Amino acid sequence: MTIPGLLAIATLWATPRLWPTLDRAAERLFFEKILIAAVLAVPLFLLTWLIGIYDAGRVSLDPDKKERLWNRMKYAVNRLRMKGARGVMPRLEVFLMLILFLTFLFAYSYSYFPKRFYADRLELLQTAFSEKGMVLIPNLIGRTLDRISGG
């Protein structure tokens, strides 16, 4: 996950700099598709990195988990044999708390942040991308604005 994440972040950095040098519509369309994929993938990669950082912190603080990888794998297999899938899978209560937190966050942000403010910002972004010669991203923003105004 590290290499694709770094490539996605590099794409977000490089595309605006390379855009003026692209002459053909096919090249611009290709780079625009890559930019859309990078924008969609970066949050997933960041979440994966944060989970990895959290896990590394937990392992570094727990003296029982400071063992060689081979021994940890053997222990995981033994735990699977003794407790079944429940011993290897994440705890259900942690998963439910995460779902509850995300639901609360969504409800709070939906009621607190005004739609019109963000719709105006999206319209400005759509205009700016259209002026740069982009096609796909302004269309995606237009569809999003139609859903916002219709919903």
Give the CA dihedral 72, 77, 83, 87, nearest 10 degrees. 50
Structure tokens at 146: 């139609």
Mean pLDDT of each 10-residue bin along the chain, 151 residues long: 75 78 79 82 83 80 72 75 64 80 85 76 88 86 84 56
Q: Which of 150, 148, 93 is nearest to 122 (CA)?
A: 148
Residue 85, pLDDT score: 63
What is the C-alpha to C-alpha distance for residues 137 and 56, in angstroms, rounded to an integer? 37
H or E stretch covering 34: helix 25-61
Residue 90, pLDDT score: 61
Task: Enter the pTM of the model.
Answer: 0.50
What is the C-alpha to C-alpha distance for residues 81 and 86, in angstroms, rounded to an integer? 10
- Written as one letter, the residue type at 43 is P
Please state, as a whole number, how many other Cβ atoms lie within 10 Å of the Cβ of residue 57: 10
Residue 135, pLDDT score: 85
Fill in the DSSP letter of residue 107.
H
Residue 127, pLDDT score: 92
**Domain spans of the chain, in order of start:** 1-66
